[in-house]
Structure 1
């Protein structure tokens, strides 16, 4: 099926898991899952360990569609088997892959202020989730849905982990082999196909603080015979919420407390008693006093989400039916559902005279004897209405996938397959406990107008009753989704013999159609009737979106043996591939790839590749409707900007950080003028398996990815800094007379160029069998040499932003070092594992005391016992054994004080698992 079989090139007789080791104590690195950047090279079994060499069949692994029997590959590929997956103690595909050292900041369930909204992404090489291609059984997966609109990348939470037999990862450009989006690499998730029997497993866990309870139940049933095979997999998974107030490091924001308080802050253009036109607040004893900006603040963080809750249900089925000896009919079906949610602070309505709001002197809840009115912020009420309860966003996402096709072999040994897949994601987004600003205007405005509209008057200066809260409450519903049609046909085999071996080839065609739609709440998008502000509610309006494109592709790939069994050339082999793609939106493009493998002698293999990459703008990037949102940033013009050219006119007393934790009112949307991206990927490396040390292998790979016409938003912080420091692009930053940013416009543009360079290394050693048992050792690390952005400014100047080793823009972190180590032990019915995860330090250049995010090293341990009388295994494990908190970050942390796309904030997590095979 698309070049994927149920056999995989793997180490003979070895037993590896994805966790812990003591090598970190020697090399100063830390733990984890194995790197995706290193090919899994064959390692002979230790003498006397009872293992037997396996006869290798002709197979294909990710990175090539040519089937072959040897283990040589020009591409750096790593494979994780099912036993290794289970050893990690994770319950989702996203958790499994995001621990890898070569993966950058990725969406996960952490935080409410992020943009994950329950999704899980994979950001290979720090190049973005939409530049990492996700395959399932060698075929594309449908893009995600369920945020404020649809996604342009795969949501890994839509793939049930229980159905996964193994994962293959290629960290190299593969556009010529698999088509667009494979710029950073390819992940091929392979499901079970010939499982025979029944397997049941149950997983429960929680933190030592009594929260974050997680449970997971899996069922796997399979039957196989001469007729073919059938398989069913089912999963029920649930994880509970952890709030920011439940952890010391996130209880109060480093960036300062909010000026949006439940006590309120009131200011009028007409003098109010002894306060005059100065701001005043409620004093907590039924009276009022002058506002004190330094102390009249509120900590809105404790009741927000630190780790979001999620409930998933998954059902996967597969039928393989042999049609004689040379053909098999294959069909697959999947249904997955997810419900996730995020909790935010209670809403604060915008009540300003400049927006047409008024409070008449005869309003039943105006105790001051003067009307509240005026332009701009001369009349302003700022009060967080906690009586509404926290804002809660909920996502209900259903994924359906149906596929059918045929595969087989010709009499000459060539293999073929053809497959059609239809998949869709449908999502419902509910935004609860928002505020209707039109109804606020009615409830505060003239009494006659209120009565004519059957409104409930609002006591904004005093006690807000449940009836008042219910009147102004809005629960909005959006719907969005994606669809995909995909047809593929592939052929592979040997053409003829050359002096050094057989010339092998693969060829194929593909037709794909992508569709995306977004239908935001009609009520939220209505124009307000009673105010002049551009929002009817506190929920962000946006325009609807619908877009589609299709493409037709054809590729050919050759594997050419050049030399074999010669002095200093035990093997020399060339691989070549090229693909032509024709998009309905951008026309045609041809991209090629070349790879060379040289084995001077049996212990050493050297490899290098050169590959062209291509990615057309996604539906979301092209056609997403304009929407209002809040983007994280700190205003460089705070305090007047100290003479910066782009801060002219900003008052010295202005401080944007006083508003809602540093978020900026912004407008974002698609850009139909975008151009496609193109890249050149270069990689070189070696694999060393010394004969004098059986079971030892060491791999190193260097990479250099040069991405041109890179599609990205300029970034809220980048825009503000650029405007303030140079005066450029200030037309995208709109301020009022107080200095406050009214709106910032950001969206996708072709940023000209990105360049990423780095090194990946993996060291594995299966020690000879010892009296104390079997020991497997692994060390895996990724070093980011450079990550540079080349931005072309309006005056033609090119600005270079060096990001490697930095974390100075919200939600983007580029630590130079990430590493994993593991030590795995087994003896008889017992097994144990110790692992470490290391994330290097990063500079963020923020406020004094927070200029650097320090390195983090965490430890995991687990132990397992297998009953000998029955096929039952019990496992007890602890993740983050020493309860390390994520390192603090001032800039990247937002209200939660840490980089939520990089670190796990749960703390010490204890789990138990029981599995039975029948």
Structure 2
């Protein structure tokens, strides 16, 4: 048997082992937690063939997988029959998955990326930077984003055609794989050598007629005597869903209590009040009585100018920014190619060459810029509008006598707020390219009559992104267009700007700005591994794996130079455009690591001890940034009888701060959060941090629906974080009831010196409740109460501690009408507790999140689960799936109760085999009963947690696959 065909045989045997163990889920077409167990006859068969297997969580090749922790295994068939449109979508449905980045919403930070965040332990919202994502046991390059590079793997950078299966280890594995494996490991298995052609197409659309998806894959394989070749192409496209297309997302849950920014403008023009020439009453156009242009009105000349305006009031001047065609789910298009060539250099040595190219284009639509400018008022100050300006309706240019003409100087408290609909909706777009080249050589050698395996691996990979943020505002051009007519006339290209009425396209084009930026990440990786048996014990061989790995990570971020340049006309604290600023980032680190893993069989075939096995692992890591660290792992698997496996593991985790966390330049952002000082100091007399906030203040009246301007930055004083993970479980497979299995596992994870940031809501709550130094991170406008800036930075918090239970019940049986398989998979989150230092001294601040959903994009239900029932007949099959997300608390509010309800999503699929399984056609419906996410006040204005729930509604699809 050649080396290539031998490896292929081992892969096939692994699939048979997994099927016997209940960890292959093709019978269910739905991910279910399963634990590696091998039937006695399969183990005997493996002994005959001599083939070892490698399972995620261990580097040691073995005859079975008894000593490995709880593993979820998905085959290519599971993936194709899951009803999911992408790998990220599939993994995010796992009960153990926390908030993860996806395509939902324009209120988040995904920007077309997809992540997997196990155990809710991602370092930032949905980031997944404590989950290690591997491809065939090797690292994948970090992602990139709209506002700088990432420190986690973007699952949308992998062509789906390269993926043959997935293994998910929900156990700490830093000692085996190195840093980042605190919450678990996701190992993507690539397609293995084969002869033939495989293809599939899939298309679907919601019952609302939007959100259409199409995808296609074609993979060809050819094997020769000493070589094999695989070529694969993938394509996927998804269309947008608008916020105004669903009842839940059409209007923010936060009630509008005063007139907000709208396209007709909101004008505070103190000099206009009581002007006899215009006939305006006292208070007309002052800070408490802003005026609005009558919709569609033409501004009259002279003393008729004010007839086009009225004092703003609700409900007549209500305006809904959510209905501006912004996306609830953004469009995305991806295509990718994968190639692999294997060649036997000798009978014992094989070389493997791989190449990957993937490209993604995605976009997100936002409502137009909410302009807020003025002289000594407004968010951006220092503007002026002379009385001779052509579009100042109260000036001499419009026939007003000089004695009555009004100009609005940079030293007066005038203010204009306006939705810049004439400029257009803001559109963010991303163009992401991923390349990866790798070479691997593996072989065997003999020592003392035993066979040892070795492999050498090297790879280079890069993610790069070009982004655009269209339809921003150029403040410098706006300053010129509003200012002196003489200066504007003398400035090339300057166009006088009308902020008091509809703008012309020429005016809009002059102040419109498109931000263009670029960032990239790179990974250089090299590894060497050796595994084999040291010696024999009465219970079996003592197996050893040792290895060395070198890795270098690089990140580069080049923000738009003009956006980050100093304004020519405004004060230094103001930016040149409405785009968010950030400083350029360049960073890198490298590390050397060595590891050893030992598997020791202690007992076998003894009374009350069918088997007892000890596994030990240790790893030494030396970082160029934070020094060195050693991590250990120990596991014990005990089978008192063949039907019961009891196991437990203890592992030490380690995560060095990423390039992003260390070196990220300060960048502006918009936070989502609920200001506890809404209503002002008079409405919150028991909150000392609200002192001085004016009565009636409402954050919803500022920025975009109350989004909070802020700054995020890296911290090069960060220390590494460490973790201790303990898990214990039992797996029962009663031989008296074939096909039945029950697994229950308890886990407890404690992260010390955790790298994290407090949420914007937490920062505001601390300020409001405690006042004093807790408000140093929250800057307000003393006149309006508006939050001008909120500072958020990474820090080594005291600890994060979580524990819970996973359980799976599975039963598969045959009948005269076909085969049935059922599974129930549930996770219970007992606690998720963050302990942070108290800036004022005293006891640490403890935040228990389990069961809560009262902060944006951070829902922690205690119960999550999924279940499926599958029937397989001779030529047809059917699957019924259900997914449950339990209730959580909501932010306290006067609109709804402080609770986010539970939800059950129900899916159904029917498939038909053609030509003895050579082809398959299926139709299905996801979210059969068109369930909308439970409403969440904390997540206004989108009104639901976009990283936990799906708002697209009922989705119908059909697929066709063929094998030749």
Partner of 2:529: 490
Partner of 1:552: 592
Q: Structure 1 regions of 5+ residues with no counterpart?
A: 22-31
Q: Deviation of residue 181 (structure 1)?
A: 0.2
Shifted more, 847-856 versus 486-495: the winner is 847-856
Partner of 2:371: 349
The 1:553–1:138 alpha-carbon spacing in structure 2 relative to 1, beyond 3 Å, is: same
Partner of 2:37: 41
SS in structure 2 at match of 1:469: helix
The answer on 1:90 being equivalent to 2:98 is no
Aligned 8 A contact 1:41 1:697 in 2 = no
SS in structure 1 at match of 2:705: helix
Q: Residue deviations 1:209-233, cap 9 Å, x none?
A: 1111111111010012321311011
Aligned with residue 381 of structure 1, among 410, 416, 420: 416
Aligned with residue 384 of structure 2, among 352, 355, 358: 358
The 1:471–1:276 alpha-carbon spacing in structure 2 relative to 1, beyond 3 Å, is: closer
Q: Deviation of residue 870 (structure 1)?
A: 7.9
Q: Normalised by the size of structure 2, how large is the TM-score?
A: 0.91
The answer on 1:784 being equivalent to 2:795 is no
SS in structure 2 at match of 1:754: strand
Aligned 8 A contact 1:228 1:320 in 2 = yes
Q: Normalised by the size of structure 1, how large is the TM-score?
A: 0.95
* CA–CA distance in structure 2, aligned partners of residues 373 and 751 of structure 1: 49
The answer on 1:713 being equivalent to 2:711 is no
The 1:260–1:195 alpha-carbon spacing in structure 2 relative to 1, beyond 3 Å, is: farther
Partner of 1:622: 662
Partner of 1:793: 838
SS in structure 1 at match of 2:90: helix
Aligned 8 A contact 1:814 1:842 in 2 = yes
* CA–CA distance in structure 2, aligned partners of residues 54 and 163 of structure 1: 31
Partner of 1:611: 651
Partner of 2:399: none
Q: Structure 2 regions of 5+ residues with no counterpart?
A: 123-127, 298-307, 396-404
Aligned 8 A contact 1:162 1:234 in 2 = yes
Partner of 2:97: 103
Aligned with residue 300 of structure 1, among 294, 298, 321: 321
The answer on 1:736 being equivalent to 2:781 is yes
Aligned 8 A contact 1:808 1:845 in 2 = yes
Aligned 8 A contact 1:551 1:581 in 2 = yes
SS in structure 2 at match of 1:650: coil
Matching of residues 899-918 of structure 1 within 5 Å: 899-918=945-964
Q: Deviation of residue 744 (structure 1)?
A: 0.8
SS in structure 1 at match of 2:322: coil
* CA–CA distance in structure 1, aligned partners of residues 406 and 700 of structure 2: 30
Aligned 8 A contact 1:106 1:902 in 2 = yes
The 1:52–1:597 alpha-carbon spacing in structure 2 relative to 1, beyond 3 Å, is: closer
* CA–CA distance in structure 2, aligned partners of residues 462 and 792 of structure 1: 52
* CA–CA distance in structure 2, aligned partners of residues 71 and 61 of structure 1: 7
* CA–CA distance in structure 2, aligned partners of residues 798 and 814 of structure 1: 22
Q: Deviation of residue 437 (structure 1)?
A: 1.1
* CA–CA distance in structure 2, aligned partners of residues 296 and 54 of structure 1: 81
Structure exhibiting the larger radius of gyration computed from Cα positions: 2
* CA–CA distance in structure 2, aligned partners of residues 813 and 756 of structure 1: 15
* CA–CA distance in structure 1, aligned partners of residues 84 and 47 of structure 2: 31
Shifted more, 69-78 versus 118-127: the winner is 69-78
* CA–CA distance in structure 1, aligned partners of residues 848 and 411 of structure 2: 41
Partner of 1:26: none
Aligned 8 A contact 1:163 1:233 in 2 = yes
* CA–CA distance in structure 2, aligned partners of residues 544 and 13 of structure 1: 51
Aligned residues: 899
Partner of 1:283: 294
SS in structure 2 at match of 1:709: strand
* CA–CA distance in structure 1, aligned partners of residues 412 and 225 of structure 2: 79
The answer on 1:118 being equivalent to 2:157 is no
Aligned 8 A contact 2:26 2:77 in 1 = no
Partner of 2:125: none
Aligned 8 A contact 1:604 1:687 in 2 = yes
The 1:505–1:112 alpha-carbon spacing in structure 2 relative to 1, beyond 3 Å, is: same
Aligned 8 A contact 2:443 2:455 in 1 = yes
Partner of 1:864: 911
Aligned 8 A contact 2:36 2:66 in 1 = no
Partner of 1:64: 58
Aligned with residue 657 of structure 1, among 694, 700, 704: 700
Aligned 8 A contact 2:21 2:35 in 1 = no
Aligned with residue 404 of structure 1, among 416, 419, 439: 439
Partner of 1:29: none
Partner of 1:10: 18
Q: Deviation of residue 352 (structure 1)?
A: 1.3
Partner of 1:876: 923
Aligned 8 A contact 2:36 2:68 in 1 = no
Partner of 1:245: 244
* CA–CA distance in structure 2, aligned partners of residues 842 and 54 of structure 1: 53
Q: Residue deviations 1:246-300, cap 9 Å, x none?
A: 1111111112358220011001232344125331001225111012266533111
Q: Residue deviations 1:594-616, cap 9 Å, x none?
A: 00111111100000001000001
Q: Deviation of residue 656 (structure 1)?
A: 1.6
* CA–CA distance in structure 2, aligned partners of residues 18 and 799 of structure 1: 46
* CA–CA distance in structure 1, aligned partners of residues 27 and 769 of structure 2: 46
Partner of 2:742: 698
Q: Deviation of residue 348 (structure 1)?
A: 2.2
Aligned with residue 328 of structure 1, among 330, 350, 364: 350
* CA–CA distance in structure 2, aligned partners of residues 685 and 678 of structure 1: 24
* CA–CA distance in structure 1, aligned partners of residues 437 and 735 of structure 2: 48
Q: Residue deviations 1:387-440, cap 9 Å, x none?
A: 122100000000000000200111331111010010000100101111101111
Aligned 8 A contact 1:359 1:371 in 2 = no
* CA–CA distance in structure 2, aligned partners of residues 317 and 184 of structure 1: 31
